[in-house]
Amino acid sequence: MYGIILNQQQRSLIKICGLSTEETVDAAIAAGATHIGLVHFEKSPRHISLEDAAKLRRRVPAEVKVVQLLVNADPKLTSQAIATVRPDVIQFHGSETPEWVKIVRKQTGLEVWKAFGLRDQASLESSSRYVGAIDRILFDTPAKALPGGNGVAFDWSLLAGHDHPIPWGLAGGLDTENVTEALKTTNTPLVDVSSGVESAPGVKDVDKIAAFCQAVREFDASR
Ligand SMILES: O=C(O)c1ccccc1NCC(=O)[C@H](O)[C@H](O)COP(=O)(O)O
């Protein structure tokens, strides 16, 4: 029994973000992803309508969480996204304030994540302003052409030995080749990937998804 408990404690969470087809959602679930990310941000090559997100959401079993990603959505769009998609998690990936995300969390009872661009120690310290307002902070590369999904890694050493006050995750430029190093360097409990499992911007690759998840599971087994 203890062996089972130990394994569950060491199982890294895997979020495959920016999925947009039934085939790739099914592939991510089959590969062992724990979270499925759906992007509603029209400038993104991974953007899908709320109606399409709702259809994909209905394919996801209860044990896998659906993360609806929004960027600076106003209250009306935020409410519409939640009512239409019925996600398990809302991920805010813009300049949303702690006050706003706290309101959403309180009023909806949903799990709320905030993505945070990490550039230096000062920015890591400033991320603490979200403590108490969210369920998980997702450390990502600071916004570039897009607020996220840029396929660029940040300096993971910024997180080495950091005493995280709330649940967190690592995103930005991850792929099958570097995810093991990212896990070793940061001891992140969650890895989040989008570009690194694509054959072209917005085109998810089922083989890359499987390889990424396998690399994470092999790391888990080695701990
Ligand atoms: O994925 C996008 O296109 C995107 C667009 C606008 C805001 C956020 C976006 N993605 C959010 C994510 O959580 C990504 O998985 C994360 O930024 C990592 O992306 P990548 O570096 O491409 O793996």
pLDDT tens-digit readout, 69-99:
999 999 999 999 999 999 999 999 999 999 9
- ipTM score of complex: 0.99
pLDDT tens-digit readout, 201-214:
999 999 999 999 99
In this predicted structure, the answer to whether residue 7 has a pLDDT above a threshold of 90 is no
Indicate yes or no: pTM above 0.80.
yes
Q: Is 116 near ligand 1, meaning CB less than 6 Å away?
A: no
Q: Is 193 near ligand 1, meaning CB less than 6 Å away?
A: yes
Segments making up each domain of the chain, as ranges: 13-222
In this predicted structure, the answer to whether residue 9 has a pLDDT above a threshold of 90 is no
CA of 220 to the centre of ligand 1 (A): 24
Nearest alpha-carbon partner for 56 in 93, 85, 90 = 85
CA of 18 to the centre of ligand 1 (A): 7
Q: Does domain 13-222 have CATH number 3.20.20.70?
A: yes
CA of 96 to the centre of ligand 1 (A): 16
Is 17 an active-site residue? yes
CB neighbours of residue 121 within 10 Å = 10
CA of 38 to the centre of ligand 1 (A): 10
Report pLDDT for 77. 98
Q: Is 32 near ligand 1, meaning CB less than 6 Å away?
A: no
Six token digits for residue 81: 């996204």
Report pLDDT for 206. 98
Q: Is 54 near ligand 1, meaning CB less than 6 Å away?
A: no
CB 136 within 8 A of CB 113: yes
In this predicted structure, the answer to whether residue 5 has a pLDDT above a threshold of 70 is no
Nearest alpha-carbon partner for 218 in 180, 172, 189 = 180
Q: Is 175 near ligand 1, meaning CB less than 6 Å away?
A: no
Is 88 an active-site residue? no
Q: Is the dihedral of CA 122, 126, 131, 137 positive or negative?
A: negative
Q: How far apart are CA 140 and CA 70, in angstroms?
A: 15
Report pLDDT for 160. 87
